[in-house]
Structures are given as structure tokens and as C-alpha cells.
Chain A
Amino acid sequence: MRLSKEDIKRISDLARIELNEEDESLFAEQMSGILRIVNKLDKVDTSGMDQMVTPTGFTNVLREDIALPSLDPKEALFNAADREGAFFKVPRIIEVD
């Protein structure tokens, strides 16, 4: 399957990355090449195999639900491009009529 420039545009919208036209064309070509190789995996007999998500089989770690010290809000906000009081500030999210 060959990816078109339009496919790349649609996928990059999903990925929330704005691409310029040059990147769209380049990625269409490069990703088609990568997928051509990936498609060969189809031919491998994987019957009876589990999906290996993690190689060591460790399960997630849980801890007691006790409050522990965490970052000071000032430190947590230090790297934000925009902030107000103890909050991150972002452009409008909800449409206003």
C-alpha cells in the first residue's frame, strides 16, 4: 500500500503535528518504503504466539495510597510558556458563539 500526500495530511492531523507540504511529500515516500518492508511481516507464521508487550514479564507496580511530598507548584509551573496563579494557561478550548 502506497501512502499519498493526503494520507499523510490526515494522519498528521490525528497526531496533532502540523507538517509543511515538503514534509508531506517526503514522508509519503519514506513511509511507503518503510511499510513495504513492514508488510513482509504478514508472511511470517505467528500462529500460537502471544503478543509480547514487555520482555521481562514484570507487572505494574502498585503502592499504598498514601500522600507523599511532590513538586512545589512553582517548580511544576516553571517551564510553562504561559501561566496564571497556580495554573497553566492555554488558548481557548471551548467555542464561544
Chain B
Amino acid sequence: MKLSELGAFELLPMIKRKEVSVEEATVGILNKIKAVDRDIQAYITVTNEHALQRAKEADLRLNEGKPPRPLEGLSVAIKDNICTKGIKTTGASVYLEDFVPPYDATVVRLLEDAGAIIVGKTNLDELAMGSSTESSAMFPTKNPWDLQRVPGGSSGGSAAAVIADEAVFALGSDTGGSIRQPAAFCGIVGLKPTYGLVSRYGLIGYASSMDQIGPMTKNVRDCAMLLNVIARHDPKDAQSYTGEPVDYTQFLIPDINEVIVGVPKEFLNKGLSKSVKDAFMKALNKLEGLGAKVVEVSLPHSDHALAAYYVISSAEASSNLARLDGIRYGYRAAGCEDSASMTAISRGKGFGSEVKRRIVLGTHILSKGNFEKYFNDALKIRSLIFRDFEKIFKECTCLVCPSSPTVAFRIGEKIRDPLEMYLSDVYTVPPNLAGLPGISIPCGFDEEGMPIGLQIITKQFDEATLLQVAYTFEQATDFHKKKPQLQKYDCGSESTRGDRNV
């Protein structure tokens, strides 16, 4: 195994024992990026110098005898809609192409304080709006399992970077599936925490009543380690959870004997591809074999979740993105005669189609007459969906379903038809509406070798159960150990020097 392939829980003890220096581990990852990212294009910015500087500082600390921090020397990729002080944060938008934040997002501060090394900023659908990373204004990211396919989205760059070993782990953000769907498409673990568990201060807001930042990792243990560091109360996020920090790694016990797993029957109907359904049914059998009791449940209003989601998220986006006005930061069109046209032209030129359409749709929804008709109704349907979940969690410990109805689709396949694209989030959107945590873990491959994800959902703030069920399944399967073959990466090449066998 190469150094760059190690998960956080394997690499950290080696760094602690000084078998590997932080610099060596960091160089291994940076070289991997050099070797494969020309093909994959997971990164918008690679922070070579910053990372090497931090790595040297970390080694110095350790050599001075200071105690290692919880994520000491682990290379992390940050989705490029999360602000990093002094490091360009583009949101994959022309509008923010040159934006250099004057402050760090709270999660970035927490990660660096815990010793993690930022190696770069990853690609996304522009301003996190999309399901394939094709809406990035920079370039589309390729799925490392098949370069002709999308990595999912919007956190497609983070997902691709993790599976291609271009980072030990990554942060993504999830408003309607943007962590879990790309995690499924790329065969990694992706957790959307309960709404409010992780601070969003410094995240470029999309739909603030649903946005959450979360971990994207190679395995469930790494996911718990990363969550331990970022799940903190933050007075700078008005919706931040006020509970005490929890050590999530203590719940990594392979035991689901008392667990009752609900399977929403509505999620196994139309639109679900055969290969995903087959893998899902096998996963159910596995869970049963491990001791869980599986019961069929119903989410009667889930059919309406996607429509309600697009009403609410577009409305919130139109309001949120009004701040991008060409005045204080971001792109400004030259030569405009007055401020109003300057804003309109800057936004017209600075935003891509998907973003413009969602803002225009949101503005339509929030205008007089439509507000009552669409928006208020969608909020009531949100209550209905919340109540459906509440009922289920009275009898079930968790819900399971596929993370997405299909495996990763081909680049260009769905980009012209937004409705078709939105369907890939049909199973991930309901937890966002209800504020619930959801995790996607690898549960199989289709006949062409593309990964398939299993989504587990629990009640709010029950990440402990979520991680325990995920861990139990993972430990009894091998799907998370399989890696894509990256052609241009062979052990002897110049660019992989420093990434030694371990």
C-alpha cells in the first residue's frame, strides 16, 4: 500500500510514532495530485506552498516534543465554497473567480487548529447548485472510476479527490444531497450531519434552512474522527447546536443486534435502476444477517419532497445571493452608467445558467401572489415530511435506502434537462427538508464497475447511531477497500517520488 492511500485512522498513529513525518505524508499527497489531477480535475486550487509550510511547522512542533493534535499532519481538501483566509475561494463561479476571503470559515479554523493540512480547494457545481459538477464555471471534474462520467455533485471535486487519494479526507457541503450523492458516485463515505451540528460561518450560503457542511472520507472511522473536530457550537452561526462536543469514535462498535431498520417502500419504485436496487437488496440482507430487524415503512409525502425542495431552495438562494451585487467583492462589469445596471450586468455575466435560473425561479416564487401559492405551501409540505419521519422513528432506529437511483451518469447526459438532473437527488432531499443526518457508504458495484451507495438516516442529532450502523456494515464488507485504477499513476514514475510503500 502507498502512503497516500492510507486512511486518517491508519496514518495518524504513524505520524504520532514519527514513522512518517508530516512533510513526507503531505508531499505524498501533493505528488499524487500532480500525477493524476490533470485527468481528474478535482481541484480548482492546489495550495502547495501553504501545505508544505504548514507541514514543516507541524514537524517542528512534534520534534519539540509537543503533543500531536487530533488530526496532526492529515491532508484535507476543502470544497471551494468554504472560505479560506488568503486562499482564493471561487465557489466555481466566474463571479468569485478572484475572491480572496479575509477570514477563515469556522470549520477551516477548527481543522487547522487540530493539525490538518489544507492541500487545496475542490471543484463544485457553481455555488453548490447542481448534481454533477458540470455546472462549475471552471471545468467539469471526472469520476476516477470512469473518466467519461461525472463524480456527482455538487461536492464532486471533494469526492473525486478522496477516492483518487489526492487527499486523506475532505469537506463538502450538502443542501439537498451534495455530499451523499457524490460520495455514492465515487464510492466513498459522505456524511451530512444534522442541521446545525456543524457551523456554516464562512460557507457561501445557498439555501440557509438546509445547508450543512460535512465530512467526506475513505471510511467510517475517518468520518467520525473528522466530525469530532468540526461538530462544535459556534455563536457566529445563528442556527448552531448548543450541545456539548461528543467523541463519535466511541460509537464505532460493530453491533446492530438491537437495531430496527426501516425501508421506505416509496423509495423502491419507479426510477430506481436495477443494478442499484440489486445492490441495495443485498445490503438489506447483510444488515439482517448482522442482526438488525428490517421492516417496511412508508414516507407518504416523499413524492412531493423534490418539488417542495426546489421551491424552498430557489427562494432562499435568490434572497441569499442578492449579496453578490458587484459592489463589495466579486466580479464587476466595467463601464456601467449607474449602480442598478452595474449590478444586473455583473450578475448576468458572472453567473452561469444553473445559478441564474434558480435565482430567477426563486424571485418568481417570492413575488406577490406566488409567495402564498408556492412558498407557504412548500413549507407546510415540509412539516408533513418532517411528521412522516417522526412517526417512523417511533418504531425504527434508522432508515436505509439507496443514496441515488442510478450510478454515476455520463458527462453531458443530463445537463440540458434540469428535471432529469434533479431526480438524482430524490432520496437525499427529504432528510435536508427535515434537518436529519444522512450518510452514504459504499454498498456495491454495478456490472461496469461503478460504485453504489447505501444511505442511512436517523433522527436529529443521533449521529452516534448513524455511525454505528454504518461502521457495522462497513466492517462486514469490502466495498470501501476497492480503488479505481488510475492509468497514469504507477509506482516508479518521477512524480510519485516520496509516496513510499508502507
Tell me the A residues contacting B by CB distance below 8 Å: 3, 7-8, 11-20, 23, 26-27, 30-31, 33-34, 37-38, 40-42, 44, 46, 49-56, 58, 60-61, 63, 71, 75-76, 78-82, 88, 90-93
Is B386's CB under 8 angstroms from A17's CB?
A: no
Q: Is B414 on the interface with A (CB-CB < 8 A)?
A: no
Per-position binary interface string of chain B over residues 351-390, scored 1 when its CB falls under 8 Å from any chain A CB and 0 otherwise: 1010011011111100100000110111111111010000
Q: Shortest CB–CB separation between residue B117 and chain A, in angstroms? A: 24
Contact of B383 among A49, A56, A90 (CB under 8 A): A49
Contacts of A40 in B (CB 8 A): 304, 307
Please, could you name 21 A-B residue pairs with CB atoms under 8 Å apart, sorted by A? A12-B356, A17-B344, A31-B361, A34-B418, A40-B307, A42-B377, A44-B301, A46-B377, A50-B383, A51-B376, A51-B379, A51-B383, A55-B210, A60-B238, A63-B235, A71-B103, A75-B102, A78-B102, A79-B98, A79-B328, A81-B332
Segment touching A, from B46-54, B63-71, B335-343, B486-494: B335-343
Q: Known contacts A15-B318, A44-B301, A91-B337: does B380 contact A49 (CB below 8 Å)?
A: yes
| Contact surface of B with A, Cβ cutoff 8 Å | 98-100, 102-103, 194-196, 209-210, 235, 238-241, 301, 304, 306-308, 310-311, 318, 322, 325-332, 336-345, 347-349, 351, 353, 356-357, 359-364, 367, 373-374, 376-384, 386, 418-419, 433-436, 460
CA distance A16 to B336 in the complex (A): 14
> Which of the residues A41, A80, A82 comes within 8 Å of B378, measured between beta carbons?
A41
Do B327 and A88 touch (CB < 8 A)? yes
Q: A18-B348, A30-B357, A50-B380 are in contact. Are A56 and B363 (CB under 8 A)?
A: no
Contact A56 B348 (CB under 8 A): no
**Residues A16 and B343 in contact in the complex (CB < 8 Å), given A40-B307, A76-B102, A81-B332:** yes
Given the contacts A31-B364, A37-B307, A15 and B195 also touching, CB distance less than 8 Å: no
Query: How far apart sit A55 and B305, CA to CA, in the bound complex (Å)?
Result: 14
Is A27 within 8 A of B384, CB to CB? no
For B332, list chain A residues within 8 Å (CB).
Answer: 81-82
Q: Using known A-B contacts A17-B344, A41-B307, A79-B330, determine if residue A52 contacts B418 with beta carbons closer than 8 Å.
A: no
The 10 closest A-B pairs by CB, nearest first: A55-B435, A18-B348, A79-B329, A81-B332, A51-B379, A46-B380, A75-B102, A15-B363, A49-B380, A52-B382
How many Å lie between the Cα of A37 and that of B419 in the bound state?
9
Partner of B379, one of A16, A30, A53: A53
Chain B residues positioned under 8 Å from A8 (CB to CB):
360
Chain B residue contacts of A53, Cβ below 8 A: 209, 379
Q: A60-B238, A61-B235, A81-B326 are in contact. Are A44 and B384 (CB under 8 A)?
A: yes
